[in-house]
Amino acid sequence: MPLVSMRQLLDEAAKGGYGVGAFNVNDMEQIQAIMEAARETRSPVIIQASRGARQFAQDRYLYHLILAASELYPEIPIAMHQDHGNSFETCKSAIELGFTSVMMDGSLKADGKTPSSFEENVEVTRKVVDFAHERGITVEGEIGVLGGVEDGHGAGGSGLDHITDPDQAVEFAERTGVDALAIAIGTSHGAYKFNKKPDGSVLKMDVLIAIHKRLPNTHLVMHGSSSVPKDLQDIINQYGGKLKETWGVPVEEIQLGIRNGVRKVNVDTDNRLAITGAIRKVLWESPEKFDPRDYMKPAREAMQKVVALRMTQFGQAGHAGDYTPVSIADIAKGYKDGSLSTRPLVAAK
C-alpha cells in the first residue's frame, strides 16, 4: 500500500489505546529489520530518519528503500517521518521528497543545540503546520527540551534541565495546531540516560500525566524511549566493547505513558546496541570473516528481535489490518474542511 499519514496511524492508535513505535533508520538493513518485525507481529509502523540519517544515506536512497518496503509488505501501513527537523527548510525538503510526516523540533534553534524561546518555537512550528497540512502531511512539535546530544543534535545536559510546563504545552498545542506533541519528562537521547533505574525524581511521569489530563485528546510523543537493556549492553562489553553502566526508560513506564495519551514512542539506541553487539560477536568469534553478510545478517536479526518485542510491548501488534488507509490527498481535504481538526480539547485545571 502507499505510504500513509502518521496522523491516521496515531488516531487509530488512540482509538485502540495503544502506542506506535517510531524506529530510526540509516540504511537498508534497518528498514528490513523493522519490516520483518512488522510482518511477524502484524503491526502498523513509523519509520523515521533524522537529519543525520538523511545526510549519511542520501535521503533519496532512504525514500526509495521505504517505498520498496511498502511494495514488499502491502499489508503494513507505514508512515515515513522526519525526526527532529531543525527548521522550516528541513521539513519542507522532507515533504517535497515524499515523507508523510515531519517533526518540527522548534524547542531548539536551527543550530540544533541552543534552546529557543517559546515564541520562536510557536512561530516556526505554526509555519510548518500551515505548509504541511495543506499537503496532507502530519506535524509533530516539541515543547520542553530533551537532554543529551546525538550526532551533534541536542541541548546536552541532563533530561531534567527543561521539563515541559503543562500550561505551556496547552498554549503550544492551541497556537500551533500540531497533530502530535513531544514533551520533555527527563529522558535524553542515546545510551546514557540515567545512572540507576529511574524513579519519579528523574523520570517525570507525573508531568506526562498532568499534560494528558489537560490535553486528553492530544497525541503525546515520548522521545529518548530506549530501554537500554542490560543484556544488550552485556553482549557489546563481552565482545570487546566499553559501555559504561547505564539505565534507559523501563518498558513499564512507557506502558504507563501509553495509558496516558502517548501514541508515538521513539526508539533508536536499543536497535543500535543490538546491531553493534551482533557485529562485535561475529568479528570477535570469527576474526577471519570479511564478508559483510556474515555480520550484517545477524545484526539485522538482532534488530528485528528488539523491534518485534517493542511492537508487542507498545500494543501496536495485531493492528496492521484494522483500517483502510486514507490517501494523503484526502487527509489534506480533511485538514481543510475541519474534519481533521487540530484544535485541542483542553480540560480545566
User: Which chain residues interact with Zn ion by CB under 5 A?
Assistant: 223, 266
Q: How far is the CB of 291 from ligand G3H (least distance, A)?
A: 27
Which residues of the chain form contacts with ligand 13P (CB under 6 A)?
A: 24, 83-84, 189-190, 223-226, 266-269
Nearer CB in complex with ligand 13P: 22/340: 22
Nearer CB in complex with ligand 13P: 90/214: 90
The answer to whether 105 contacts ligand G3H (rule: CB under 6 A) is no
Nearer CB in complex with ligand G3H: 24/90: 24
Short-list 39, 101, 91, CA closest to 69: 39
Give dist(CA 282, CA 298) in Å, integer. Answer: 8
The answer to whether 264 contacts ligand G3H (rule: CB under 6 A) is no
Short-list 171, 12, 174, CA closest to 79: 12
Contact present, 217 and 345 (Cβ < 8 Å): yes
Q: How far is the CB of 49 from ligand G3H (least distance, A)?
A: 8
Q: Which of 83, 105, 165, 268 is catalytic?
A: 83
Q: How far is the CB of 64 from ligand G3H (least distance, A)?
A: 19
Short-list 6, 21, 29, CA closest to 272: 29
User: Applying CB under 6 A, which of residues 7, 153, 280, 300 lies at the interface with ligand G3H?
Assistant: 153
Number of residues that bind ligand G3H (CB under 6 A): 11
Residues 6+ apart with CB under 8 A from 313: 251, 254, 255
Q: How far is the CB of 187 from Zn ion (least distance, A)?
A: 9
Nearer CB in complex with ligand G3H: 10/57: 57
Q: 290: how many CB neighbours lie within 10 A of its CB?
A: 9
Give dist(CA 263, CA 221) in Å, integer. Answer: 6
Q: Residue 70: which of ligand 13P, Zn ion, ligand G3H, none does it interact with, CB under 5 to 8 A by kind?
A: none
Cell of 281: 560477536
Q: 74: how many CB neighbours lie within 10 A of its CB?
A: 9
Nearer CB in complex with ligand G3H: 22/202: 22
Q: How far is the CB of 88 from Zn ion (least distance, A)?
A: 19
Nearer CB in complex with ligand 13P: 224/261: 224
117 CB burial (10 A radius; 0-12, 13-18, 19+): exposed
| Alpha-carbon torsion (32, 68, 263, 116), positive or negative | positive
Give dist(CA 72, CA 126) in Å, integer. Answer: 36
Short-list 326, 325, 335, 1, CA closest to 135: 335
Q: Residue 87: which of ligand 13P, ligand G3H, Zn ion, none does it interact with, CB under 5 to 8 A by kind?
A: none
List the interface residues with ligand G3H, window 123-152 (CB under 6 A): 150-151
Q: How far is the CB of 154 from ligand 13P (least distance, A)?
A: 10
List the interface residues with ligand G3H, window 12-31 (CB under 6 A): 24
Q: Is 83 a catalytic residue?
A: yes
Q: Which stretch binds ligand G3H (CB under 6 A): 46-54, 115-123, 212-220, 251-259?
A: 46-54
The beta-strand segments (E) located in the chain are 20-24, 45-49, 78-85, 101-104, 138-143, 180-183, 219-222, 262-267
Residue nearest ligand G3H by beta-carbon distance:
151
| Residues belonging to the active site | 83
